Amino acid sequence: MRKYLNQIKNNPLFLFILALMLFYFSSFYPSLTERFYSQGIFKIIAPTYSRITGLLPFSIAELIIGIFIITILFSLGRLLKKKIRVNLKYFKKVIFIFSLIYFLFITTWGINYNRYTFAQIAQLEIKPATIEELTGLTEDLIIKVNEFRALVLEDDQRVMKLPNGIPNMFQRASEGFKRAGEVYPELSGTYGKPKGVLFSEVMAYLGIGGFYFPFTAEANINTLLPPPMLPFVTAHEMAHQRGFAREDEANYLAYLTTSKHPDVDFQYSGHLMALSHAMSALRTAAPEKALALQEQYSEGVKRDLITLNQYWQKYDTFIDTIATEINNLFLRANMQQDGVDSYSRMIDLLLAEYRQKNKENL
């Protein structure tokens, strides 16, 4: 065993190349990837690991990232201060560490990028939409959003608030997945509950609402997000936790699971975010229709959307721009060719569901 470990250390790119090969070949066989990895290996390891890390009330991911950053800064400082000569052995060690991290990322979660799409799992037909379909979807969402908005609680500023705070929302978040799991077994399973991040202010400036950390199987949430958005973002990261890696699918599954949730704050948040995506697409396709439909928003919905816009404006800095570009490169590296635009492809799934429902009602 030691012999093989030494061979790997002497070839620091070995794990990186192995991970690339695993990822590359899995992309050609989505059915095998779905069966043996996503519904096999991952479905066994991830929930178990998530429940173990979930025993601790704080984000282990945040702790690991903090230690990692401090270690890098300390090492760089030591190199500069003592003018330590960097040799080949040092570079090999650095390359080996990053190769190991990439290998673990791919084997613990990344292969899920190459599983069946959720459209295939749910038998949703993805095809180009007409203006009429997009308009109809947006109108339906406005009706539901207005209905749910009338039922949620408000704070002193008359903005939607969570009934019992963020920790309670995290506790309730799995209910939507339990109900969705009765229809789609791929969403079932018991996982550790989502966790709030202490350095949420940093996440806010980086433009990050949440992140899934595959090395600890934790769904980590920026707790500074406005309440109308929090349940949706929480469900988004929980979708990643359940092995759905693509961003458009995680967005759609956040909508799907919050729609099935028994509590109105989740239902409202999911539909409000779905409406935001639909309205954004309609503004591009038919701005005059979008402008007319916006007039149908209830006053409460308008206040909530203003709050969301104010939040993003507050944290809209050059740091956010840089972080977005890094995220863009990360998504493209994992075969999401649209990069950050893949988040907006949620609308394709919403439209496919809309067509399916209309067909069933005929």
pLDDT for 70:
92
pLDDT for 86:
57
What confidence tens digit (pLDDT) does each residue in 251-269 have? 999 999 999 999 999 999 9
Amino acid 12 reads P
Identify the H or E element spanning 63: helix 60-82
pLDDT for 362:
53
pLDDT for 277:
94
Burial class (CB in 10 A: 0-12, 13-18, 19+), 244: buried
The residues of the chain scoring below 50 in pLDDT are 320, 323, 327, 330-331, 335-336, 338-343
What token pair was written down for 218?
Answer: 């934790």
3-state secondary structure of 196: strand
Neighbours of 300 (CB within 10 A): 20
pLDDT for 78:
73
- Spatial distance between the Cα atoms of 304 and 291, rounded to a whole number of angstroms: 18
Domain boundaries along the sequence of the chain: 2-114, 118-361
